Every structure is written in C-alpha cells, then in structure tokens.
Chains A and B, each alone.
Chain A
Amino acid sequence: MKFTLKVWRQKNAKDTGQFETYNISEVENEMSFLEMMDVLNQQLIKEKKDPVAFDHDCREGICGMCSMVINGHPHGHQKATTTCQLHMRSFKDGDTIVIEPWRAKAFPILRDLAVDRSALDNIIQAGGYVSVNTGSAPEANAVPVPQDMAEKAMDAAECIGCGACVAACKNSSAMLFLSAKVSHLALLPQGQPERKKRVISMMKAHDEAGFGSCTNTGACEAYCPKGISITNIARLNREFLSAALTSEYEL
C-alpha cells in the first residue's frame, strides 16, 4: 500500500508549526497505524531528517498514551479503537491521510504530535480517589456490592484517560473523562463518604485547567476508544447539582 501523509510538524511549544507532506510506500495492510508511523520515521532517519515525535507506549489500546487526530477524527475513523489498534487495512491504497495532534487549550503541544495532558492528572488529584490509607481497609467481602452496580462502575472505570473526548469536543471539554471517574466512585459504596466533596472539587479543577463546558453534542462519546457513555455526563450533572444544593462545601 502507498499513502500520502500530511503530518503536523512543530519543533516545540513556541514554534508556530505547519503541515509537511510525505510519501510512504511498502505499507502492509496488517500494520497498525503506529507501525506505519514507524516506517515513516525509519525512512526519515535514513534521510537524516528529524523523525516525527508522537506519544505511544503499550500499543494494545490500554495505556492511553497514543493520541493522533487522523483525517479529522481523534484516534481515526474506526469506532471504539485507539490509534495503536487502528490497522492500515481500514484505509484505501493511495489515500491521503492528515495527521494532527490533540488540539485543546488545556493540552499544549510539546513537539509534533505529542501534547501535555497533565491537566487530566490535575483533575484526578482534586478528588478522584477514596481516602483510604494502606493497611486501614476492612475485609474485602464485608461490604457486598450488587453485581449490576459493580458492572456499571466498571463501565465507567474503563476510561483510559487518553483525552480523545477533549480533542473531539468543540468546546474542548473534559466532561466525559471527569464524569467517568465521578461515576465510577459514586456508584460504589466505597465512594460514598467523599461523594459530594469529590464532585465539587473535581469540577472546579476541570474548569481551572482550561477545559470548556459541555453542551451535549455527544462527539466525546462517538470518539471514545473505550465506549464510555455520555450518560455518565448526565450522572455527573445530577451529582454536581445535588452536591451543590445539599452540601456545605464551597463552590
């Protein structure tokens, strides 16, 4: 297979950046998208040019490190798939492919396709945990958790924190990410003691990080590689409203 690639190149955060065009051949249809990028980089290295910097690690769709907007789609056009699990067999020989980084104010570009997603960590640090010190936990089976609740919590907990929801959103909102964590813990008995405080302080951190608000367009759900449902955002709104009305924590 042969492709024309238009890749965003940007030396560092201060550089303005531009698209560069590369022609690539000898791509096989079993290759993953990142393996195709490896071929491009090997080609550039052989020509003594700078390879394209991009984030990637596990290459099995779970670490959440890979992050490319492919032909305008975060993680590409295939539903519920990370960039590393997208395969070249889903493209047509001869296609032109445009590759960009996540674009959002809260995710400054570091180089080429790699961005800084520390803002997502900041949201978790604001309350995405149960405050339990090591060693102080009660016996695991002491509190039964209804199976359907555990499953629902797991549905939300599957979020890999890649930030595709932010890249997909016209408001660059991270509400899907935030709502997944809030839902995961709100659905479990272990998450109850800090339930109200958590949602208020995580929401605050979300806004402070420069993410936009949710206007329910649903792009996040459509592009989430793990199929996290937008109903989590509905739950987040309920959680937030009820906490804001009934708790003593400051907004």
Chain B
Amino acid sequence: MKLDSKIPAGRLEEKWENYRSKCKLVSPANKRRIDVIVVGSGLAGASAAATLGELGYNVKCFCFQDSPRRAHSIAAQGGINAAKNYQNDGDSIYRLFYDTLKGGDYRSREANVHRLAEASVQIIDQCVAQGVPFAREYGGLLANRSFGGVQVSRTFYARGQTGQQLLLGAYSALSRQIASGSVKMYNRHEMLDVVLIDGKARGIIARNLITGELERHGAHAVVLATGGYSNVFFLSTNAMGSNVTAAWKVHRKGAFFANPCFTQIHPTCIPVTGGYQSKLTLMSESLRNDGRVWVPKKKEDRLKPPHQIPEEDRDYYLERMYPAFGNLVPRDIASRAAKVVCDEGRGVVKSGYAVYLDFSDAIKRLGKSVIASRYGNLFDMYQRIADDNPYETPMKIFPAVHYTMGGLWVDYDLSTNIPGLYAIGEANFSDHGANRLGASALMQGLADGYFVLPVTIAQFLADEIRTPPINTEHEAFKEAESQVGQQLDRLLNIKGNKSVDDYHMALGKIMWDKCGMARNKQGLIQARKEIQALRNEFWQNVYVPGTQNEFNPELEKAGRVADYLELGELMVIDALNREESCGGHFREEFTDNGEALRDDENFNFVSAWEFTGTGNDPILNKEALVYENIKPSTRSYK
C-alpha cells in the first residue's frame, strides 16, 4: 500500500502556517454535536482533551490510573526544549529542528519536526500562563539548562520534576473542562479494543477496572495518547502500568505500526541489583551537565573504592571519545559507550554492569549548595534507592530502556491509516526518528495535544458534521465487545501453573539480550523463535486468578503481557529487516570503527508494518523519507 504522509507543499518554514490558514474548520455550533474519545491522560492526552473541550467538542477521556494526574509523563525529570533563544546563544527554530532531526539520525520527517520546533515556543507561553513554576533567574525571567546532543541552552525545567509540573498544568486545564462539562473523565478504565464502522474509527470497548464491566463508548473520532511500549522489556524506567494494549489492538484492526525496533536506552539509570527487581529508575540526563562519566583504566581497579583510584588511572571515556560534546553526547551514543567499556571488563559493580557518574569536580568548582539546588531531589532519590551518598561517592549508573521512538504510523495530520483514528505523543512514531534527544518527549506530547491535533482533527471531523451520534447498538460494537469478553474468559480459564510475571520476565530477557542495545541477525532470528514458543506456552500455562467481574489487577496485566508477546515479535522482525545501524538501533554487522553505520541508500524509509495474523509474517509498507532542506550526513559528535 502506498503511504501518503500528506505533507503540505511549500517552503519548510511556511508549511504549517499555510496549512493552518487554509485547512477545514468545524463551526462552534457543529462542534457541540461532535463526540471525540481521547485515550490516555498524559501530556499528550490531557492537553488534547482539554483543548478539544475548550474548542467545544464533546470529549470523553479515559485513563487506567485512579486519576488523570498520575499518567507516566509525571515522572519526566529533566526538562522541556523550546527554541526561545532566551540565552542569546544562537538558538532558533531552525536549529532546534536541525538538532532534533540529526539527533534522530535522519529517520524522521522534516515537516513534522519543523512544526514541532515551531510549536515549542508557544508551549512555554501556555505552560507559564497555567502557573507552571519553571525555574527562574534572579531577575524573574525564565532559566535554561543544556541537554544532550546540542550546544545551546534551551531546556526549561522545574527542578527535577518538569514532567510533573507540566502534567499538573495539563491536568488543571483538563480539570477545568471536566468541571465545565465539556470533558467526561473515565478513571480506572482500560481501552481493550477499537470499534470500526465502514472503515472509520467510531468508538472503543473499555473495561471498568473497578467492576470489571465492559462498556461501549461511541464517538466520531478516536485519539490514542497511550504512550510507549518500553515495558515489553519487563525492566524499564516506565511505570508498571504503561502498556501497548490500545496501540496493539488498533494495529490488529489495521493500523500500521512504524519503526517498532527504534527503542531508546537511557544512559543514566540506577543499575539492576537483583532478580526480584520490578523497575529501573532513571537519573535525569541533566546530571550530565555537571557530572563526569568514567570507569577505571585498568580492569583490576574496577571494584576498588573510587576515591582510591587516582586521576591518571581513570578513563573519562565520553570526554576522550567525543571531545566536542563530551559528557553531553546523545543518549544512544552514551549508552553504547557504557556498554563498550563494561564489555571490556571495566564495569564498576560486581555484575560488571555500571559506570561512575562523578560530581566531585562540579562540587569543588560550584560548591555543594549549588549542586544541591540543581539536583537535590535526584540526589535524594538516588540515596534512598542505592543507599549511597552521591555528594561523597560517585553515582553508579547503567543504561536502561526508557522510551520508544517507534509507534503507530501517522501522517502529517497525526492520523493513522484508519480514518478517524489519531495517535499523538509517544504512541505515534513521527518526530524522533531513530533516537530522541533529551527534553523532547515533553515538547512533542504538548505540541501534539495543545497545538497540532486540535487543528488537524478538523480535517476529518469537518466532513462528519452530518453524522448523528454513534449508535453503540451497532453490530460492530456487539462483535468487538464479545471478542474482548472472549479473550478475558480465555485468559482466566487457562488455569495453568505460571504467573503472568513469569512470562513477562522471560520475554523481557529475550528482548534485552537479543533486541536491546546491540542486535545481530543470528540473535534476532533466534529471538523470534523463542518469543513464538513463549507465547504458545503462555496461552497454555498461564495462571490468572479471580474473575472477570471484579477489581482484578492480575487480569489487567495478563492482557497487557499477551499483547507484548505479539509486539515483541514485530520488534524483532523490524530489527532484522533494518540492515543498518541508526540511532538506538545498533546492528553489530553494520558498524564503522565501532560507530553506527547508516545506510541511506537502502534504508532511508519508515517501516510501517501491517498485521496479518498472530505469528504470521507482517507486510512491510515503506514510506520514503524525503529531505528537501537538509542533507543527511554521518552523525558526528567528535
């Protein structure tokens, strides 16, 4: 199938402006008669639901948590990028666009990324007006810091809790619309399928997680803001409940899944300490502004207390390998470098999988109080988890899965290939290519939700003003509901001998070992077989306690793991197919002096996969990436 990205004609800088000036609108009187479902209440979902409500649409918003304020965007620490150039250090919309495209290793769309950079400026205005308490200078103006992969300071922040403050801003806007009646909020509800009528998305089947009841919800359009799928790895920095289910269900109904193998491994996380571990904790990338990453030069020093290793015996490997960017290289590069030095046997914990992040120089230079004011809460968090004082001994860190650049394929309108079905935020694939730069996820979530989707969705809805409210007695709703019910019954009736977590952990290990920081053909072929075998076993031997009609967290998990067992296979297939190294996708066969070797001649495209049945080979649709304004080059941070 030919994929139409619907990128508007014209000069890059004018595309979005022209689009907005000429696109279709829905009149206020008609908006009142149009229903929109938003699934997810993170930065993208909450901002979209609030804005659509303000515009006058009837919105229903769903989240699986007990309150929309708890979506995982809340855990983002470091900051949000915007091309304000408040620091007068040469920043501009073009530079943010260029950095993001280059950071993504030239695997994203020019037009989408440029629009993102344009919206970034408005996002800060909006958030400040909502009362987001960003960090400020003594004069009362907004402060900035730098983040990886760039040479300007364009990151706005609220201590180490930027995601929390931005989400609470979006949540407050959402709360205002809930109070006004334009948004109806469904907490503790999980979307378990999309309903298509005449090829258009017309509603969802959701399970009330308190009563277990299945509910039908109709709407003229459905927006997924359901986040990423890092938890396919079992251990990741995502919240325990973050899942791919909504995105996977629509993929099964025909929506293409793009670049699933593009996953981000974040370089600075607290290392794994035991087999019981349920999640990994990120230490913000902002720490690399003042922290220096090192391992001992000699293997035999690796378990020595760090203060006993003299300066000349330390290898500050990022500064050595990438002098231009030093400790602030992009995430994929920093993670791979950590893997290299640990594979050489120089890792600094017993397992061999950790490196030091050392603040002693910065503390000497700036004083402890300055460091405490910048990162105090992160240092406290580290101390609580690792039982070690980072003001005195260097942090021990190691890469962990953090974000997924891949996601549902969308066009310029953020519409999937199913009419009326939109995907925003981390749930779509569109803006970060093969690697996301730090502080860009918050930017994208809010750009999509506040400024892009509310405009683009009208292109579809303008032709729906004569469509009456969707009738949930339609055959399609009945069928979808009965299928969801059957799957839940099936899970409960297997009554096998292993828990859901047993399977999730086993899947995670396959994914991390064979489709993680480095991948190769043989491993990927093996991984596919192992996932298929694991999935078959799951459906014969999993044990899910309880019943369908009650509050049953194990049943929720079981459904999510069932979907991960299918997604994992698709990720492996995509990684196998992409015979190049780019961004977070590092194929050991395609390297040049240890650095990733991209193949623009053969792989300058988006892989959009079409579902053909569980375990079958999916169909690959390619969207060629066209660069009209910049010339892809080898990404160098040296």
Closest chain-A Cβ to B356's Cβ sits at a distance in Å of 19
Closest chain-B Cβ to A165's Cβ sits at a distance in Å of 16
Main SS of the interface on chain A? Answer: loop
- Name the A residues within 8 Å of B67 (CB-CB): 117-118, 120-121, 161
Asked if A131 is at the interface (CB within 8 A of a chain B CB), the reply is: yes
Closest chain-B Cβ to A161's Cβ sits at a distance in Å of 6
Query: Of all chain A residues, which has the CB nearest B50?
Result: A134
Q: Are A60 and B158 in contact (CB under 8 A)?
A: no
Q: Which of A38, A58, A114, A121 contacts B75 (CB 8 A)?
A: A58
Q: Which of A63, A125, A133 contacts B70 (CB 8 A)?
A: A63
Query: Of all chain B residues, which has the CB nearest A59?
Result: B279
Q: Are B128 and A59 in contact (CB under 8 A)?
A: no
Q: Are B276 and A28 in contact (CB under 8 A)?
A: yes
Q: Are B129 and A132 in contact (CB under 8 A)?
A: yes
Asked if B62 is at the interface (CB within 8 A of a chain A CB), the reply is: no
- Name the B residues within 8 Å of A144 (CB-CB): 136, 139-141
- Name the B residues within 8 Å of A50 (CB-CB): 545-546
Within 8 A of A (CB), among B463-485: none
Q: Are A58 and B130 in contact (CB under 8 A)?
A: no
Closest chain-B Cβ to A186's Cβ sits at a distance in Å of 10
Take A145-B136, A158-B161 as given contacts and tell me if A129 and B172 are in contact as well, using a CB distance cutoff of 8 Å. Answer: yes
The 0/1 profile, CB within 8 Å of B marked 1, for residues 88-111 of chain A is 010000000000000000000011
- Name the A residues within 8 Å of B276 (CB-CB): 28, 31, 35, 38-39
Asked if A241 is at the interface (CB within 8 A of a chain B CB), the reply is: no
Residue with the greatest number of chain A CB neighbours at <10 A, chosen from B68, B140, B554 = B140
- Name the B residues within 8 Å of A64 (CB-CB): 69-70
Closest chain-B Cβ to A31's Cβ sits at a distance in Å of 6
Closest chain-A Cβ to B552's Cβ sits at a distance in Å of 8
Asked if B65 is at the interface (CB within 8 A of a chain A CB), the reply is: yes
Closest chain-B Cβ to A220's Cβ sits at a distance in Å of 19
Asked if A184 is at the interface (CB within 8 A of a chain B CB), the reply is: yes
Q: Are B175 and A129 in contact (CB under 8 A)?
A: yes
Q: Are B499 and A46 in contact (CB under 8 A)?
A: yes
- A136 CA to B126 CA in the complex, in Å? 8
Q: Are A188 and B136 in contact (CB under 8 A)?
A: no
Take A50-B546, A137-B125, A141-B141 as given contacts and tell me if A55 and B274 are in contact as well, using a CB distance cutoff of 8 Å. Answer: no
Q: Are A140 and B84 in contact (CB under 8 A)?
A: yes
Take A64-B70, A110-B210, A120-B67 as given contacts and tell me if A53 and B240 are in contact as well, using a CB distance cutoff of 8 Å. Answer: no
Q: Which of B131, B175, B384, B501 contacts A125 (CB 8 A)?
A: B175
- Name the A residues within 8 Å of B125 (CB-CB): 137-140
- Name the A residues within 8 Å of B501 (CB-CB): 38, 42
Asked if A147 is at the interface (CB within 8 A of a chain B CB), the reply is: yes
- A141 CA to B86 CA in the complex, in Å? 9
Asked if B286 is at the interface (CB within 8 A of a chain A CB), the reply is: no
Q: Are A135 and B122 in contact (CB under 8 A)?
A: yes
| Range, interface on chain B | 35 or more
Asked if A5 is at the interface (CB within 8 A of a chain B CB), the reply is: no
Q: Which of B131, B158, B239, B384 contacts A58 (CB 8 A)?
A: B239
Q: Are B454 and A134 in contact (CB under 8 A)?
A: yes
Asked if B513 is at the interface (CB within 8 A of a chain A CB), the reply is: no
Closest chain-A Cβ to B184's Cβ sits at a distance in Å of 12
Q: Which of B65, B142, B381, B454 contacts A57 (CB 8 A)?
A: B65
A-contacting 9-mer, from B163-171, B311-319, B321-329, B347-355? B163-171
Closest chain-A Cβ to B390's Cβ sits at a distance in Å of 16
Closest chain-A Cβ to B241's Cβ sits at a distance in Å of 5
Asked if A62 is at the interface (CB within 8 A of a chain B CB), the reply is: yes
Query: Of all chain A residues, which has the CB nearest B551?
Result: A111
Within 8 A of B (CB), among A20-46: 28, 30-32, 34-35, 38-39, 42, 44-46
- Name the A residues within 8 Å of B240 (CB-CB): 56-59
Closest chain-B Cβ to A2's Cβ sits at a distance in Å of 15
Asked if B145 is at the interface (CB within 8 A of a chain A CB), the reply is: no
Asked if B530 is at the interface (CB within 8 A of a chain A CB), the reply is: no
Q: Are A138 and B129 in contact (CB under 8 A)?
A: yes
- Name the A residues within 8 Å of B70 (CB-CB): 57-58, 63-65, 161
- A76 CA to B576 CA in the complex, in Å? 48
Query: Of all chain A residues, which has the CB nearest B130?
Result: A130
- A219 CA to B142 CA in the complex, in Å? 36
Query: Of all chain B residues, which has the CB nearest A45?
Result: B499
Q: Which of A57, A62, A131, A185 contacts B176 (CB 8 A)?
A: A131
- A221 CA to B274 CA in the complex, in Å? 34
- Name the A residues within 8 Å of B134 (CB-CB): 150
Q: Are A140 and B168 in contact (CB under 8 A)?
A: no
Asked if B277 is at the interface (CB within 8 A of a chain A CB), the reply is: yes
- A34 CA to B135 CA in the complex, in Å? 33
Query: Of all chain A residues, which has the CB nearest B51?
Result: A134
- A144 CA to B546 CA in the complex, in Å? 56
Asked if B159 is at the interface (CB within 8 A of a chain A CB), the reply is: yes
The 0/1 profile, CB within 8 Å of B marked 1, for residues 130-169 of chain A is 1111111111110111110011011001101100000000
- Name the A residues within 8 Å of B454 (CB-CB): 134
Query: Of all chain A residues, which has the CB nearest B238?
Result: A58
Q: Are B140 and A117 in contact (CB under 8 A)?
A: no
- Name the A residues within 8 Å of B136 (CB-CB): 144-147, 150
Query: Of all chain A residues, which has the CB nearest B275?
Result: A28
Take A57-B72, A125-B175, A157-B168 as given contacts and tell me if A35 and B277 are in contact as well, using a CB distance cutoff of 8 Å. Answer: yes
The 0/1 profile, CB within 8 Å of A marked 1, for residues 57-77 of chain B is 000000001111110101100
Asked if A87 is at the interface (CB within 8 A of a chain B CB), the reply is: yes
Q: Which of A49, A63, A111, A133 contacts B54 (CB 8 A)?
A: A133
Closest chain-A Cβ to B142's Cβ sits at a distance in Å of 6
- A87 CA to B101 CA in the complex, in Å? 42
- A3 CA to B499 CA in the complex, in Å? 23
Asked if A237 is at the interface (CB within 8 A of a chain B CB), the reply is: no
The 0/1 profile, CB within 8 Å of B marked 1, for residues 65-90 of chain A is 10000000000000001000101010
- Name the A residues within 8 Å of B29 (CB-CB): none
- Name the A residues within 8 Å of B552 (CB-CB): 53
Q: Are B66 and A117 in contact (CB under 8 A)?
A: yes
Query: Of all chain A residues, which has the CB nearest B69?
Result: A161
Closest chain-B Cβ to A11's Cβ sits at a distance in Å of 8
Q: Are B130 and A184 in contact (CB under 8 A)?
A: no
- Name the B residues within 8 Å of A110 (CB-CB): 210, 551
Closest 6 CB pairs of A and B: A144-B140, A137-B129, A129-B172, A154-B133, A137-B125, A125-B179
Known pairs A157-B133, A158-B161, A188-B133 / 12 extra A-B pairs, C-beta < 8 Å: A30-B387, A35-B278, A58-B70, A85-B384, A87-B384, A87-B387, A118-B66, A126-B179, A137-B125, A140-B128, A144-B136, A150-B140
Write the residues of chain A forming the contact surface with B, with a CB cutoff of 8 angstroms. Answer: 11-12, 28, 30-32, 34-35, 38-39, 42, 44-46, 48-51, 53, 55-65, 81, 85, 87, 89, 110-111, 114, 116-118, 120-121, 124-126, 128-141, 143-147, 150-151, 153-154, 157-158, 160-161, 184-185, 188, 190-191
Task: Provide 27 A-B residue pairs closer than 8 Å at the C-beta atoms, listed in order of the A residue.
Answer: A12-B551, A38-B501, A39-B276, A51-B553, A53-B551, A57-B65, A59-B239, A59-B281, A62-B164, A63-B65, A63-B72, A65-B65, A87-B387, A114-B66, A121-B175, A125-B175, A125-B179, A130-B172, A131-B176, A132-B130, A134-B126, A140-B84, A140-B125, A140-B128, A143-B128, A157-B168, A190-B130
